[in-house]
Amino acid sequence: DAKTTQPPSMDCAEGRAANLPCNHSTISGNEYVYWYRQIHSQGPQYIIHGLKNNETNEMASLIITEDRKSSTLILPHATLRDTAVYYCIVAAGNKLTFGGGTRVLVKP
Residues lying near another protein in the complex (CB under 8 A) are found at: 30, 32, 36, 38, 41-46, 49, 87, 91-101
Instruction: Please state the closest distance from residue 10 (CB atom) to another protein, in A.
Output: 17
Instruction: Please state the closest distance from residue 16 (CB atom) to another protein, in A.
Output: 26
Pairing of strands 102-107, 18-23: unpaired
Instruction: Please state the closest distance from residue 105 (CB atom) to another protein, in A.
Output: 15
Nearer to another protein, 41 or 81 (CB): 41
